[in-house]
Structure 1
Amino acid sequence: MSAVLVKPEVPPVVLILGGTTTVARTLARYLLEDAASRASFVRLADRFSVSPPTTYLDKPFLSLLNDEDTKLEYKQFNLSKASRHTELFTPPREWKGSEIRSEGEGFDVVFDLTGETGFDKPEILQISNTYQLALSLATSASQLPDPLKPKAYVRLTFPFYEMKSLPSSLAGHTETASSELKPDGARGRWWHEALRGTGKIPGLNFGVIRCGAWYGRGTYDGEIIPRVVVGHVYKYLKEEMKFLYNSELRLNTIHSVDVSQALYLLSLYLLSKPRATSISESAVSIPFSFSSPSSSGFLSSSKRSSVSETWKTISTVVPEKETVSIPLFNVVDESDSTQGSLAKIVAETWGIKYGFLNSTVASLVQQFAKTDFSEMVEDVNEMHVGAWSKMLAASDPPIGSSPITPFLDKHAFKKMSVCLDGSKAKKLLGFKPVHPKVEVGELREIAREFQRDKLWPNLS
């Protein structure tokens, strides 16, 4: 039986940390939707400027931000500056003439959406901008005076793991399947260690949402929208879109609105239960990600040589033998998306043909990739990016530059599955996706919004 979480009588005062380029804008709108009463006030703090903008900001978000009666405050802030964290975690007493908080009272809920999402970012940036930033913010929150201390602290993490693509007849990997989900590269390991580190900080009512392959309005990052961009390139080239790996590869998806819903529901869950209850009901052990070959952790001896030893210089890394258990929930939609189903939807979005290389050709391509992977990636990107540049120039009116690109890094060409079981979130949080599956109409509308903002070529 699914849980029914009760909203607080007074909507919470909310702080969102980072995530402006991922889910934060959607989360702010979700919390402040008319008549939803999910938040009485929201502060979004991030490093970007909004006036003038130094990152892409969609029109619905700007409309909310600039409304004269808005309950949204954007605070340009250096989140890594710990000396100013008390200021960051202190809400305004008044906003637009209404009382927000009494003197000395803090935010009810904090959503930490910080972290570097690019796979190709250097490890030093993953350490500083993902791991150390998450720990610094959480540590500051835990050390605030009790009236200022947040009542719930929620972090969003992404499916940056190597995981087996299970047959469709089986459920995906559960939250307790720790040994089956190996952090993928330096990005995966430091996102994973951010959970261990934060989970070890005393005094925080902490929980985590781990989402599937996400997509949504006003976002061009993630696993799904880059496929839509590439699909448009193949429409322009009048060529069939071919995929290297088989159609059964599972790529479980989730809309950013439903990521926002899950974050909100987890905050309600944490607010409504004693910490001991939430731990006993939903906590899972988060294993150490830098295990030695002889240990029972993630890494086999065959992969040990590729793992950086930098972690040994980071004093805050929780030792391998220490147990870290935190409430953790997978969230995915109901479509059980695969490489094949997503290829079909992208093809329908643009009216193109698609296919998969047969096993013999795929084997040859993969064999070539092993010997000269970089050259293969470079050739594909040269074709995609060259065509996209021509499309931008041919758009009406022409587009000089755009942050949206069909360029794919080496990691995007690897056989990576997203295969997660989201039943726990449905049972304990009452999660039910607003977007149960990826729809052609939604992908077209995402592209149209970018076209209206003159970031995506309009060749019709």
Structure 2
Amino acid sequence: MEEKPRVLILGGTGFIGRNLVHYLVSNNLTSKIRIVDKVMPPMAWLNKEHKESFSKVEFKHANLINSKAVEKVFEDEGGGFQFVINCAMETKYGQMESVYKEGILQLSMNCARAAAAHKCSRYIEISSGQMFSSSKTAVKEDHKVEPWTNLAKHKRLVEVELETIPDLDYCIVRPAIHYGIGDRRGLTPRLIIGAVYKQIKEKMKMLWTGSLKMNTVHVYDVCRAILHLCHHGNKGEIYHLVDKGDTTQGKISELVSEVFDINHDYVGTAMSSLAKLNFKSVAEDINEKHMMPWSEACQKDGIINTPLNPYLDQELLYDKHIHMDGTKIESTGFCYDRPSLTIDSLKEILDDYVEMGLFPPSLARP
């Protein structure tokens, strides 16, 4: 019987990282898991199930921007790690160029070089699905890239630089908008915005139209795909992770509206294009409209501290599509377990945050 692998998860307390830990632990798929992150588990807003999984693994505190710190987290008396998964990166939008250069490019290259030096069997780099903006056809991995956020631009630099590391056996995954338990920056801001419109008793209005492509993938499938590629992916290949639902802004808005029993509409292309003339101011006005009612709802329900908010950075309000073809990984034997976005999957996120005391229960109730 083949021995279970030893796995090193970099950025393990983040959204994908925590779910990957829980998936591996729950299914008893490893002989050892070491998590590395600059955020300590007690400070990471883990839910009850994730805390239980984290109690069964080894955690090391480190800032992976520091190459010496990276080297130390790879050292292990048990013989090293077969699989190294890099979930670590700067995830906030709207940051300065230098923040992404350090928190994405420098960090990822530190980790990749260390993985090569320690002769890991497979290194997985989590990249970004914001590499294309076309709406006409679902884009495959070999399509010309046009990264449209600063985060994605630096992730693309990482993709290119990985090719220069001798003896690194790696795969790259580009997830579409990923959602699920613990999500804070994928679909959760739109859930919170829906709750805000329930609070203020207004119709929820969005920029552009309902046809804007916002393809999705459940974090459970992201975790399954990561482990699958550790065993079955082709060296040096890029794989898109996107479900079969061809999710659009319209579908997301319909489901959010159903969750909170609100109405929604769209400003339209002409008015949205006009707003682009002073888009920074428009984005500030939109966020200001949402932030105050959210704060008031939290105070009303006694929520003093929560990492959740409805803020959407200006970059995420552009008319840029996420329209991806996720079939390449299926040719390796993978199949998606969560084929489309559903209202139940959104309610699952909501219910989890309510149980943790991080989302106002008065807005979550029908």
TM-score by length of 2: 0.94
| 2:18 alignment counterpart | 25
Conserved? CA contact 1:115–1:191, under 8 Å: no
Mean Cα deviation higher: 36-45 or 198-207? 36-45
Conserved? CA contact 1:199–1:206, under 8 Å: no
Q: 1:379 aligns with which of 285, 289, 293?
A: 285
Conserved? CA contact 1:21–1:219, under 8 Å: no
Q: Structure 2: how far apart are the matches of 1:81 and 1:374? A: 34
Does 2:99 correspond to 1:125?
yes
| 2:329 alignment counterpart | 425
Secondary structure of the corresponding residue to residue 161 of structure 2:
helix
| 1:4 alignment counterpart | none
Percent of matched pairs sharing the same residue: 28
Does 2:177 correspond to 1:213?
yes
Conserved? CA contact 2:171–2:229, under 8 Å: yes
Q: 2:206 aligns with which of 243, 261, 266?
A: 243
| 2:60 alignment counterpart | 75
Q: 1:366 aligns with which of 266, 269, 273?
A: 273
What letter matches 1:328 in structure 2?
Answer: I
Residues 202-230 of structure 1 deviation map (CA, whole Å, 9 limit, x = unaligned):
011111111111111022122x1111110
Q: Structure 1: how far apart are the matches of 2:70 and 2:310? A: 38
Q: CA deviation at 1:356?
A: 2.2
| 1:134 alignment counterpart | 108
Seen in structure 2, the aligned counterparts of structure 1 residues 336 and 392 have a Cα distance that, compared at 3 Å, is same
Residues 362-403 of structure 1 deviation map (CA, whole Å, 9 limit, x = unaligned):
413431x233222222222121001101110111xx111321
Residues 157-180 of structure 1 deviation map (CA, whole Å, 9 limit, x = unaligned):
1213242112xxx5x100111x2x
Secondary structure of the corresponding residue to residue 259 of structure 2:
helix
Q: CA deviation at 1:338?
A: 0.9
Q: Structure 1: how far apart are the matches of 2:271 and 2:63? A: 49
Conserved? CA contact 1:211–1:332, under 8 Å: yes
Q: How does 1:129-208 map to 2 (within 5 A)?
A: 129-144=103-118, 149-166=119-136, 170=137, 172-177=138-143, 179=144, 181-208=145-172
Secondary structure of the corresponding residue to residue 194 of structure 2:
helix
Secondary structure of the corresponding residue to residue 182 of structure 1:
coil
Secondary structure of the corresponding residue to residue 425 of structure 1:
helix
Q: Structure 1: how far apart are the matches of 2:288 and 2:111? A: 41
| 2:86 alignment counterpart | 112
User: Between Structure 1 and Structure 2, how many residues are aligned?
Assistant: 363
Q: 1:332 aligns with which of 203, 218, 242?
A: 242
Conserved? CA contact 1:251–1:417, under 8 Å: yes
| 1:342 alignment counterpart | 252
Q: 1:392 aligns with which of 292, 298, 301?
A: 298
Q: Structure 2: how far apart are the matches of 1:331 and 1:365? A: 29
Q: CA deviation at 1:448?
A: 1.4
Secondary structure of the corresponding residue to residue 36 of structure 2:
strand
Q: CA deviation at 1:84?
A: 4.0
Does 2:2 correspond to 1:13?
no
| 2:361 alignment counterpart | 458
Conserved? CA contact 1:334–1:437, under 8 Å: yes
What letter matches 1:174 in structure 2?
Answer: K
Conserved? CA contact 1:332–1:421, under 8 Å: yes
What letter matches 1:211 in structure 2?
Answer: P
| 1:38 alignment counterpart | 29
What letter matches 2:348 in structure 1?
Answer: E
CA RMSD of aligned residues (A): 1.7
Structure 2: which 5+ runs fail to align?
none
Conserved? CA contact 2:132–2:323, under 8 Å: no
Secondary structure of the corresponding residue to residue 140 of structure 1:
helix
What letter matches 2:139 in structure 1?
Answer: H
Secondary structure of the corresponding residue to residue 330 of structure 2:
helix
Seen in structure 2, the aligned counterparts of structure 1 residues 13 and 19 have a Cα distance that, compared at 3 Å, is closer
| 1:307 alignment counterpart | none
Secondary structure of the corresponding residue to residue 15 of structure 2:
coil
Mean Cα deviation higher: 369-378 or 209-218? 369-378
* Higher Cα radius of gyration: 1
Q: CA deviation at 1:412?
A: 2.2
| 1:274 alignment counterpart | none
| 1:435 alignment counterpart | 338
Conserved? CA contact 1:252–1:335, under 8 Å: yes
Seen in structure 2, the aligned counterparts of structure 1 residues 112 and 240 have a Cα distance that, compared at 3 Å, is same
Q: CA deviation at 1:86?
A: 3.8
What letter matches 1:130 in structure 2?
Answer: I
Q: CA deviation at 1:432?
A: 1.6
Conserved? CA contact 1:209–1:330, under 8 Å: yes
Q: Structure 2: how far apart are the matches of 1:139 and 1:39? A: 23
Conserved? CA contact 1:109–1:267, under 8 Å: yes
Q: Structure 2: how far apart are the matches of 1:344 and 1:187? A: 28
Secondary structure of the corresponding residue to residue 237 of structure 2:
strand
Q: How does 1:257-272 map to 2 (within 5 A)?
A: 257-270=220-233
| 2:48 alignment counterpart | 59
Residues 169-208 of structure 1 deviation map (CA, whole Å, 9 limit, x = unaligned):
x5x100111x2x3012432221111111122100111111
Q: CA deviation at 1:251?
A: 1.2
